[in-house]
Chains A and B, each alone.
Chain A
Amino acid sequence: MTLEEGVKYVAAAYGVIMAVIVIYYFMSARRVATLQRDVQLLEDEARRLQGGAE
């Protein structure tokens, strides 16, 4: 196996790993943001209903 071929395989392996980590990071960051916004909306709604009831 020549050095060039070896580099290709190594690059492929590291590339897959990096890709997965980066994709995971951004997907989960977005998930957290969406969920926190949902919590905020629901809590506001709850407060509003309580305020209305009283």
Chain B
Amino acid sequence: MKKLLSAPALFAAAGILLVVGVVLAFWYSPTDSSSMGFSQKILYYHAPIAEAALVAFGVAFVAAIAYLRTQDMKWDRLSFVSVRLGLLFSILVMITGMIWGKAAWGTWWAWEPRLTTFLLVCFLYAAYWVLRSVVDEEQRRATYAAVFAIIAFIDVPITFFATRFLPEGLHPVVIGPGGGGMEGSMAVSFAICMLGMTLLLAAMIRRDYEIELIKDRVSDLKTSLGG
């Protein structure tokens, strides 16, 4: 079981699913009949990346709570790498979202709910990074980072809700590409890509977490040798 969950195995599984997903998306699923046409194909990776980013922040949230309860540094490492990867995925969501926006609406940016929510998410977790960088003492840094990771994650669905539903009345919300239902063949490709991206995130978290643990081991060894 441990072998199955190791980083290389997860990468392999993710790779297979993502390749299969892409192939299905292009050769099996029909091209969207709406005005977006071919550019809708971006959705098959764009939305799974968004979902994976949110999962990453969820992992950070749970790890932060675990750290506060146990004071075990391993949870801080897990929280930290999850936020970093979540931030990377969020930036990818923004980039692919902007490319899709240009293809579908002709403009690189629009103040629509999805892009603005992920923009705020990027700022939120960039703030997490800044917070970590200005605290020197290890225990305190982990504690403050954990508190902020918890607060930040609670704010994410609230922000999504606020940008989508509140501005009505004074300013109509533009529902971006992707509204509406999905037919069967689209849903299959979509689900495979979703699963693949989630496994990819798991693989990357696993790999980064192991790197952090080895780094800790290296500095422990150096301290015991030098001191």
Contacts and interface: CB of A to CB of B under 8 A. Distances in A.
A binds B: yes
Interface of A: 1, 3, 5-7, 9-10, 12-14, 16-17, 20-21, 24-25, 28, 31-32, 35-36, 38-39, 42-43, 45-46, 49
B38 A10 contact: yes
B150 interface: no
B200 A6 contact: no
Nearest to B218: A38
Please classify the interface of chain B as helix (H, G, I), strand (E, B), loop, or mixed, using the class held by over half of its residues: helix
A32 B218 contact: no
Interface of B: 11, 22, 37-39, 41-42, 45-46, 49, 88, 92, 95-96, 99-100, 102-103, 200, 204, 207-208, 210-211, 214-215, 217-218, 221-222, 224-225
B19 to A, nearest CB: 10
A20 B11 contact: no
A43 B33 CA distance: 62
8 contacts: A6-B38, A16-B96, A17-B96, A24-B88, A24-B204, A39-B221, A43-B221, A46-B221
Given A28-B211, A31-B211, A32-B211, A13 B218 contact: no
A28 B100 CA distance: 29
Contacts, number: 77
Contacts of B100: 9, 13
A32 B46 contact: no
Which secondary structure dominates chain A's binding surface?
A: helix
Given A1-B37, A10-B38, A21-B200, A39 B218 contact: yes
Contacts of A25: 11
Given A7-B38, A20-B88, A13 B214 contact: no
A1 B103 contact: yes
Contacts of B38: 1, 3, 6-7, 10
Across the A-B interface, give the 6 residue pairs with the lowest CB-CB distance, nearest first.
Answer: A6-B38, A9-B103, A42-B221, A35-B214, A13-B99, A13-B42
Contact of A35 (B11, B95, B96, B211): B211
Contacts of B214: 32, 35-36, 39
